[in-house]
């Protein structure tokens, strides 16, 4: 049973709902049925002990500036 995120076109409420089979969800706030499914994020477990740089270049640069470029696996060409 997947958990989906929706936005109601009528009242703009964002919500999550567990959808079973061919069930069609309704908005919990206004009972509307004009829903748009959102692209959901998901959790990722990193089992690699090598630290990863931050997702933005500015954050990566700040990290390397604070700790020194020698600690950075990205700048050292590691995966």
Domain map of the chain by residue range?
3-37
Average pLDDT, the chain: 74
Banded model confidence at residue 60, pLDDT cuts 50, 70, 90: low
Q: Which residue has the higher pLDDT, 43 or 19?
A: 19
Banded model confidence at residue 68, pLDDT cuts 50, 70, 90: low
- Write down the pTM of the prediction: 0.49
pLDDT tens-digit readout, 23-53: 889 999 999 999 999 876 665 666 665 555 5
From residue 78, give the alpha-carbon distance in Å to each of 4, 21, 36, 65: 36, 44, 40, 18
| Average pLDDT of span 53-62 | 57
Q: Is 64 helix (H, G, I), strand (E, B) or coil?
A: helix
Enclosing H/E stretch for 62: helix 57-67
């Amino acid at each position: 049973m997947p958990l989906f995120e929706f936005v109601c076109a009528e009242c703009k409420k964002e919500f999550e709902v567990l959808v079973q089979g061919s069930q069609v969800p309704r908005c919990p706030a206004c009972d509307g049925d004009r829903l748009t499914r959102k692209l959901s994020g998901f959790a990722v477990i990193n089992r690699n002990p090598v630290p990863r740089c931050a997702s933005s270049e500015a954050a990566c640069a700040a990290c390397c500036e604070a700790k020194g470029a020698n600690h950075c696996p990205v700048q050292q060409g590691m995966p």
